[in-house]
C-alpha cells in the first residue's frame, strides 16, 4: 500500500472528527454573531476543542482579556498532555524494542 493511501486509510477517523467538530464550532460561532474572519481566526489561534466553544461565549459577552487568558490556559494544558503522551509512547516503544 502506498504511503498516501495508508495515510487516508488510517487517518480518516481524525479527519471526520475534525470536520464534525469544526462544523459545529463554525455554526455556533456564526450564530453567536462572530464574523467569518473572527471565527477563522479563533480556529487558527486556539485549536483546543472545548476552549473554542468557551471563547465564543466570552467574545459574545465582550470579555476581551478573559478570552486571551482562557486561550493561553487551554493551549498550555493541551501542550502538557501532548508532551506527557509523547513521553509515554516513546517509553512504551523502547520497552518493546522499537
Q: State the CB neighbour count (10 A cutoff) for residue 58.
A: 18
Higher local confidence (pLDDT), 61 or 87: 87
- How does residue 9 score in pLDDT terms, banded at 50, 70 and 90? confident
- Euclidean distance between CA atoms 46 and 72, whole angstroms: 8
**pLDDT tens digits for 46-84?**
767 777 887 787 777 777 667 667 777 777 777 777 788
CA distance 5 to 9: 6
Count of domains in the chain?
1
Banded pLDDT at 44 (limits 50, 70, 90): confident
Can you give the residue range of the structural domain that contains 28?
Answer: 3-95
Mean pLDDT of the chain: 80
Cβ atoms of 56 and 45 within 8 Å: the answer is: no
Confidence at 27, pLDDT banded by 50, 70, 90:
very high
Geometric angle at alpha carbon 65, from 64 and 69, rounded to 5°: 125
Of 25 and 60, the structure prediction assigns the larger pLDDT to: 25
Amino acid at each position: 500500500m502506498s504511503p498516501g493511501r495508508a495515510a487516508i486509510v488510517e487517518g480518516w477517523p481524525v479527519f471526520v472528527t475534525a470536520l464534525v467538530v469544526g462544523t459545529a464550532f463554525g455554526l455556533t460561532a456564526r450564530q453567536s454573531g462572530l464574523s467569518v474572519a473572527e471565527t477563522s481566526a479563533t480556529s487558527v489561534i486556539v485549536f483546543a476543542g472545548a476552549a473554542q466553544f468557551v471563547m465564543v461565549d466570552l467574545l459574545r459577552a465582550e470579555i476581551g482579556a478573559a478570552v486571551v487568558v482562557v486561550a493561553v490556559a487551554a493551549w498550555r494544558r493541551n501542550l502538557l498532555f501532548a508532551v506527557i503522551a509523547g513521553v509515554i509512547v516513546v517509553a512504551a516503544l523502547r520497552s518493546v524494542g522499537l
